[in-house]
Structure 1
Amino acid sequence: MFSFFIEGNQFVCDFLFHIGRVADIDDIITNTIGGIVGFYGLKLLDRGFIDKIIHPFFLS
């Protein structure tokens, strides 16, 4: 949603103020794919080494 918001602002600002920015659907697609890859990458890391480091600091 954040990527869509930024691209939408670029489109509106270019339409109203001619700032020279170009709104591009490719930016939304690549940012969304990057976010998904990063999210699942962190989930994989969380199950392993990082979980062992963080676990002793939990209050349980």
Structure 2
Amino acid sequence: MRNVDRTVDRNVDPFELPRSMQAVETSRADVPDDTADPVFAQGHGLSLEAGTSCLQPG
């Protein structure tokens, strides 16, 4: 499977994923991305440059 249109593929998290319920409870509700030590930070994800493939032919 190839990126035939030569664009950049990006799949990133639109928000952070907190590590625990305690991290959620101690964060400020009015401040985005405020948890301490998240499992995945906002913007974490996969980015493929134009013309690359994430699947190798088998």
TM-score, L = length of structure 2: 0.27
Which structure has greater helix proportion? 1
Which structure has greater strand proportion? 2
Which structure has more relative contact order (CA 8 Å, sep 6+)? It is 2
